Chains A and B, each alone.
Chain A
Amino acid sequence: MIAAEWAAKRRVTVEVLRYRPEQDADPSLQAYDIPYTEGMSVLQALQHIKDHIDGTLSFRWSCRMAICGSCGMMIGGKPQLACQTILRAGEDRPLRIEPLKHFAIERDLVVTMSGFISKLESIFPFIIPKTSRATTEGEYLQTPAQLARFENFSDCINCMLCYAACPQFGENPDFLGPGVFALLQRYNGDSRDGGRERRMELVHSKDGAWSCTAVGYCSDVCPKHVDPANAVNQNKTNSAVDFFFRFLPRRRSPEREA
């Protein structure tokens, strides 16, 4: 009956990890007591705090429907999107909201993204056509089976939840990480793409696929079911194959001749 009592009170307490670089030496938790409505999201709770209680609270958000990837944070210790996570009343302890783990805190729930963005830029995140075609020659065709090879990897919204889930990224911030690997595989796995050779250098590197120990938690927390662990781990096979096949003479690809 605790849940019913809470609902009757229509209040809920959340704890937010705050860090204001101009005044705080270290982050600290701040509790907020807010009005509770059935089905409200954690994002709505944060918005209530910012609009009615404390305007200094900082957090990123945009679409409110789990597609922009802005509101990723640690909610109850788990990396989740604030807009997609429903606030529950009647819990024994207040819900704890913290910035994404393994990232530096800029301010309150806002983390530094620059490392992730530069990794994303480094993998040539665009199709490099295998054979270039003039517009008059028509579209690049692809069968449903060819699409199925990479389609889920193109669903990544760059929310970085998988990075907060990855202990190897926590240990080594230079590890390319699950999300960037999903996008790398999105292009390497595309039948129209010919840029594999350029991307594989990063896969083979110290901070590439071999930094992953197949924990698999990244895929569990992914809000778009991208399965980044699969993207990283199939690239271990690719990297191993490349290692052994480098002793064989290579067939000249049309891209190299061009």
Chain B
Amino acid sequence: MRPPYLRAIDPHWWAKPPYLAYTLREATGIAIVAYALVLLIGVICLALGENAYEGWLGFLASRWSLALHAMILIAMVFHVWTWFAIMPKTMPRLIIGGYYVEPRLITAAGIMVAALTSLLLLLIALMISQ
């Protein structure tokens, strides 16, 4: 008699549904690293002097930079969405007034706070620039 049969795990499970959504969610972290790098390079340029900083500002205004930032923005919005979607799973059960708070309420509240604070930040940035 043969022993129990062990099937091999598909090495590409992460590239297929239902795991693809998870893989994309994790991959958006790379876009955030890319944005952090752009900012870091800006700080380094600022330290190097006026010429370097003007060069960095010039890069920001370029078509390549705008395309990159548009891509990062899309990835960021997706990241925020999925981050708050998984948030109720990563915290202890929220109990208010003796009742368990539904996960989708936590997700909705998180997304709303993220949207409002982003809007506020945008308004402050516009006020400073004028």
Does B bind A? yes
Q: Judging by beta carbons under 8 Å apart, are A219 and B89 in contact?
A: yes
Q: Mark A81-122, 1 if CB is under 8 A from B, else 0.
A: 000000000000000000001101110000110000000000
Assess A112 versus B4: contact at CB under 8 Å? Given A171-B9, A214-B86, A214-B89.
yes
Q: Which parts of B77-130 form the interface with A (CB within 8 Å)?
A: 86, 88-93, 95, 98-100, 103
- For A27, the chain B residues whose CB sits under 8 A away are 5, 7
The smallest C-beta distance from A58 to any residue of chain B, in angstroms, reads: 13
Q: Are A234 and B1 in contact (CB under 8 A)?
A: no
Distance A101 CA – B1 CA, assembled complex (angstroms): 22
Q: A171-B9, A220-B18 are in contact. Are A236 and B93 (CB under 8 A)?
A: no
Interfacial chain B residues near A144, Cβ < 8 Å: 98
Return the contact of A229 from the options B4, B89, B92 (Cβ within 8 A).
B89
Contact A233 B89 (CB under 8 A): yes
A231 to B18, CA, bound (A): 21
Shortest distance between the CB of B90 and any CB in chain A (Å): 4
Say whether, besides A214-B90, A229-B89, A148 and B4 are in contact (CB < 8 Å). Answer: no
**Total A-B pairs, Cβ < 8 A:** 84
Contacts of A229 in B (CB 8 A): 89
Interface size of B in residues (CB-CB distance below 8 Å): 26
Is B2 positioned at the interface, with any CB of A under 8 Å from its CB? yes
Q: How far is the CB of A46 from chain B (nearest CB, A)?
A: 19
Contact of A237 (CB < 8 Å), options: B1, B19, B88, B92: B92
Is the Cβ of A237 less than 8 Å from the Cβ of B91? yes
Chain A residues closer than 8 Å to B14, beta-carbon distance: 167
Closest to B90 in A: A233
Q: In the complex, what residues of B have CB within 8 A of residue A112's CB?
A: 4
A26 to B19, alpha carbons, bound, how many Å?
A: 27
Q: Find residues 25-49 in chain A having any chain B CB closer than 8 Å to their own CB.
A: 25-27
- Could you say which of A171, A189, A219, A230 has the most chain B C-beta atoms within 10 Å of its C-beta? A230
Q: A102-B9, A217-B18, A233-B90 are in contact. Are A145 and B4 (CB under 8 A)?
A: no
Q: Report whether A106 and B4 are in contact in the complex, using a CB–CB cutoff of 8 Å.
A: yes
Q: Does B13 contact A (CB under 8 A)?
A: yes
Q: Name the residue on A nearest B6 (C-beta).
A: A104
Name the A residues within 8 Å of B99 (CB-CB): 145, 148
Query: A22 at the A/B interface (Cβ < 8 Å)?
Result: yes
- Bound-state CA distance A219–B89 (Å) is 9
Tell me if A253 counts as interface (CB < 8 A to partner B): no
Given A149-B92, A217-B19, A233-B89, residue A170 in contact with residue B4 (CB < 8 A): no
Interface residues of B (CB under 8 A from A): 1-7, 9, 13-14, 18-19, 22, 26, 86, 88-93, 95, 98-100, 103
* Interchain Cβ contacts under 8 Å between A and B, 5 examples: A21-B4, A149-B92, A167-B19, A214-B89, A237-B90
What would 6 more interface pairs be, CB under 8 Å, given A149-B93, A234-B92? A78-B18, A104-B4, A105-B5, A105-B6, A151-B100, A215-B19
